[in-house]
Amino acid sequence: MLIEKKERVIMGIDPGTAIMGYGIVLEKGSKIELVSMGIVRMDHLDDHFLKLQRIFEKTIGLIDEYKPDVLAIEAPFYGKNIQVMLKLGRAQGIAMAAALSRNISVTEYAPRKIKQSITGKGTASKEQVAAMLQRLLNFKETPEFLDATDGLAVAVCHSFQRINTSNSGKSYSGWDAFAKDNKKRIK
């Protein structure tokens, strides 16, 4: 019996209001290939709403070009400045709305989770994440902006979640089902 390998395209986005990073990978079974990565610059725009419009238009453009099956996006982290977090949340929401307008599912990951899945360390630097991605996906060029590799890291993180869960053999619909099957693991 021939088993057909599933393929899917994953688009990862590191939202930002000055620079948005993106990465696109092709997942073939347990292998991941780099398709594209880059940035969308908005640091030359003064109007916040023009930046949001550009994020939406560029995200739609990437979706139409690469036809991803899923969008993985980095969640805004809480910093000291609530205004910055509000703007990042808007940028994230606009990118999510673009994907949802094309019926593409969205998954969100915390920055720490992304770093942990790529490097094994939740406190890794952007440079460490970029270096690990270069080894994982076998590319040499160092992007001009680490926002590009940040976007790529989100896509790879999403792929790793599926690979890790598919190897465990069982998924659960909720806590009750898990608890029933794992009585010895629960105190």
Question: For this structure, is 181 an active site residue?
Answer: no
Q: How far apart are CA 81 and CA 121, in angstroms?
A: 25
2 in a structural domain:
no
List 4, 57, 65, 147, catalytic entry: 147
- Count helices and strands in the chain by DSSP H and E runs: 6, 5
Question: For this structure, is 147 an active site residue?
Answer: yes
Question: For this structure, is 14 an active site residue?
Answer: yes
Joined together, the tokens standing for residue 96 give 């999510």
Beta bridge partners of 54: none
108 in a structural domain:
yes
Query: What is the pLDDT, as a whole number, of residue 137?
Result: 94
Total number of domains constituting the chain: 1
Nearest to 66 by CA among 118, 27, 111: 27
31 in a structural domain:
yes
Which residue range is the domain that position 45 belongs to? Answer: 7-185
List 7, 14, 27, 108, catalytic entry: 14
Beta bridge partners of 37: 23
Known binding residues for Mg(2+): 14, 74, 147
1 in a structural domain:
no
21-69 residue pLDDT tens: 999 999 998 899 999 999 999 999 999 999 999 999 999 999 999 999 9
149 in a structural domain:
yes
Query: What is the pLDDT, as a whole number, of residue 168?
Result: 42
Joined together, the tokens standing for residue 155 give 């896509």
CATH code, 153: 3.30.420.10
Known binding residues: 14, 74, 147
Query: What is the pLDDT, as a whole number, of residue 181?
Result: 67
139-172 residue pLDDT tens: 887 777 789 999 999 999 999 997 554 444 444 4
